Structure formats: structure tokens, C-alpha cells
Chains A and B, each alone.
Chain A
Amino acid sequence: MKASTFKRHVTDSFRSLKRNGGMSVAAIVSVTVTLLLVGIFLALIFNVNHVSREVENDVRVRVMIDQKTTKAQRSTLADELKDMSAVSTVTYSSRQQELDKVVGSYGSAFRMFGGDSNPLNDVFIVKTKTPQATEKVAKAAQKLDHVADASYGGANARNLFKATDSLRQWGLGFSVLLLLVAVFLISNTVRITILSRRTEIGIMRLVGATNSYIRWPFLLEGAWTGLFGAILPIVIVDIGYAVIYGASANTFASAGYALLSPASLLVGMDFLLAIIGIVIGAVGAAISMGRFLKI
């Protein structure tokens, strides 16, 4: 296509957007609402997946030591853990160190549990050679003497997946529904454009304009509607996510995990939202072209 032709199509499509006024605004707002929810939902899903994967790949097993265990017994337990073939390192963390971590994550209010009122256990942090070995090592550790409990990331990951599963399904269903509403509204505005430009379309057909030439302005009008609708969600999700990321960084960092950084998540997601906007716009336009634009 010639550059001058494309410029003409762009001008035509903007003229139609302007001429359809209220309908165009309604369609853009509907895309905005839809993509805002889709954006929030995507940020949530991407992060749940990311954290779950981190948890799954975690090679640490936390072996909690009975509170009444003596130093000698603890040393024996450490040796027993080190003797396991799947274990690479065993690190001791006292109940006071564990409490310090909690205070670091959740605030100084937890200092009231200091000294004898500290409910936490001394812990051996056992690193396995592979993430897959954590379950086996945890189960084996549980059977050893002086072990109160042994936990590993994989179990947490499974729980996390289970908890977010229904969220994911509802979110997906709701998003699809909203996308359909947006497509319907866009197809309606494009239909109005097609009907109002009937004479022009007739003349174009008569003098031999190609089908694609006739269709381009309508397709562009739909695509602009989708793209303009995507701008506000992109801005809101970007700012909102940066704020949430900043606020939650401490909590997650102390647990050894992190949310996806804004840089790694948002560039791709902004692009995705813009593409979704353009695609639903184009699909909306295509539906009306199929029904009302007989070439």
C-alpha cells in the first residue's frame, strides 16, 4: 500500500471516530473497563505463577527442632541430615534469628514475643541438590528424632495453585464476557460508520476501488477504538503495580521470594494490553464489515 493511501485511510478513520462521537466514546470506555480488569487479572496471574514457580524451585527444607532438644542431640540431628544423599548443605538458625526475620518482615510488633515467649523453633535450613528432592528429604527428616516438623516449598506451591485456581477461572470467564461486550460496542460504532458512508462506499465500488481499500478505514476505526481504550488501563496498571511492588518488596524479600519486577512485567504487559485492544477493535469492525459491507 502506498504511504499516501495509508495516510488517507488514517484520516478517514479518525473522521469517522469523531463523527460517531458518543458511540465512539462509549466503545472506548468499554474497552478501558475491560482492559483494566484484564490488566489487573494478568498481573495477578503472572505473579502467582512466578512466585509458585520460585517456591517450587526452592531447594530449601525447613526442619524445625523440638524445643527441648539438647545441643548434643541437635548436633547428631545435623549429622543425620548431612548424611542424606540428596542434601547439599545444612545451616542452623536459632529461634531468636527466626524471630528477627519475622520482625523484619512484619514489623516490630512481633518483638513482644522475644525471650521466653518466643513461640518459634530452632531450625535447620537444609538445602537439597535438586528441587525434586525436597519432598523426599522433608519426609525422611520428619521421621528423625527431635524433629517437630519439616516443611518444603513444593507443598506450599501446590496450596497456592489450588487457592488461585478458582480465582483464575472466574477472572478468565469475567474477562471473556467483558471482551465480548467491548467487541459488540465497537462493531456497533463501525456499523454506524458503514451506514453513514453508504453513498461513498457505493461510489468506491463503482469506480473499482479494491475490497481491501474500502475495508481499511473501518478496520482502522475499530483498531483505534481498541488502542485508545487501552491507554488508560496501561497507565493505571503501570502506576498501580509500581506502587504495590514497592510496598510489598520487604515482605516478599525476607521470605526469599520476589514479585516480578515492574520492568520485567510491565513492558510485556503494556504491549499485550495494547494488542488485545487493537485485536478486539479489529474483530468488532470485521463483524460489522461482514454483515453490512457487501463488496
Chain B
Amino acid sequence: MIRMVDVSKVYDNNVTALENVNVEINQGDFVYVVGPSGAGKSTFIKLLYRELKATTGLIMIDDFDLPQLKDREVPYLRRRIGVVFQDFKLLSRLTVAENIAYAMEVIETDPEEIKQRVTQVLQEVGLADKADRFPNELSGGEQQRVAIARAIANNPHILIADEPTGNLDPNTSEEIMALLETINSKGTTVIMATHNDQLVNSHVHRLLEINNGDIVRDEKEGTYANEG
């Protein structure tokens, strides 16, 4: 459960990125965040995993009260949230399996559990046969699957995908979208920032449109065609 009440974010250079945003996202929702570049999508996403702090307002994620959250408590919030980016952010010196294991090792998960979970998530994302490959030996779509596998390795409640198909062709984008929907169907909240109108229109979900730092549209089954 995510709740934002009157959230504003003003940067140090006095640019207001978000203003009085109010939104609620229930556990298990699939939500698109759309809007033109510079509208405030990235700020919205970054506030969720506490990469940024809100200037004013209340943000609750599960039982975490973000504005009140101490810096040393932030890692525990982030263990509930998986994040995927347009540029994958994989470690090139590690194999696929090692990249996924890495995310579990750094939060000191038991090695035996890591082994089991890595095998499991590799199957979930359809890369069981590429566990020992290095990222640069994979296609863009496969790399994004690895990034998704890494993001869900720690069983997060929420998966945030920031333009996950931005670097991918339409077919591969479809595959990634299907994967995100599968993950969502198991109860994980998925929040996806995107410019991909085809995906938004063909896989209809709740849609939040941000423009000029404000949520201008919040539709349960929104499409790009309605924009305007």
C-alpha cells in the first residue's frame, strides 16, 4: 500500500517538480506513470524509493513513514522495493547468476537461500540456460530480464520500472511487459513509468498522468489515446 498526501518536491534551484500530489496505490495494483519529459515522473518514482526526499507532504509505503524515515532505516525500505531502469545497470564483470546473487549477498542473505532463489528467478524470467553468461553476451531484452530478476530476487512488495522498454524494440518490449504482468499477477505492485503508448494502449492498467508536477489524470483503465 502506497499513500501520498499533499506531496510537493521543490529542488534546491527552486524548480518545483511536484506540487500537492495525492494518490493511493493498493497492494497488487499495476500502475503506469505517463507524461511528457520533465513533467515530474522521475521525481515521483524517486520519491517512492527515497532516492529523493519530499519537501512537504506525507508518503506512506507499507508501514514506512518516508518523511520521518531516518537515513539508516532507508535500506530496509528499499528491501521492499525492486527497481528496474532503462539502462539495466548490470555489473559487466559478473555473470547473469552472479548479478542476481549480488543483490541478495549485499543484504547478507544465507548463501544456500541465494542459490535456490537465483535458480528460481532465472526460471521465472526465462533465462535458466544463460546463468553463466556475461551481460555483454546477451541481447537488450535479455539484459532487462536479468535486471528484473535481480529486482525481484529479494521478494519485494513493489516493483518500480523506470522506462524499462525505453531501449528495446517493440517485440522485446512486449515480452518484458508480459513478464512484468506475470510478476504483478503474483501480488507484487508494479509501478511503471513509460513513454511507450503502444504498450499502454495494448496492456490496459491504471494510469497516472503527470504534467507540470501535478497528477492531471488518474484512470483505472487509462490509455494514451485519452490523453489531452
Point out residues on A near B: beta carbons under 8 Å.
2, 4-5, 8, 199-200, 202-211, 213-214, 295
Contact = CB atoms under 8 A, between A and B. Distances in A.
Do most interface residues of chain A lie in helix, strand or loop, or is the interface mixed?
helix
B111 A200 contact: no
Closest CB pairs A-B (n = 9): A208-B79, A208-B78, A209-B106, A207-B103, A208-B75, A210-B75, A204-B106, A206-B83, A208-B107
- Residue with the greatest number of chain B CB neighbours at <10 A, chosen from A4, A200, A206, A211: A206
Interface of B: 49, 71-72, 74-79, 82-83, 89, 91, 102-103, 105-108, 111, 150, 153-154
A203 B72 contact: no
Contacts of B79: 207-208
A74 B108 CA distance: 86
A5 B78 contact: no
Contacts of A214: 106
B78 A295 contact: no
Contact of A203 (B89, B111, B154): B89
Given A5-B108, A8-B105, A206-B49, A200 B75 contact: no
A66 B83 CA distance: 96
Given A203-B103, A207-B103, A2 B75 contact: no
Contacts of A209: 75, 106-107
Given A207-B154, A208-B78, A211-B72, A202 B89 contact: yes
B111 A207 contact: no
Contacts of A295: 71, 74
Contacts of B83: 206
Nearest to A203: B89
A208 B76 contact: yes
A199 B91 contact: yes
Contacts of B102: 203
A8 B106 CA distance: 10
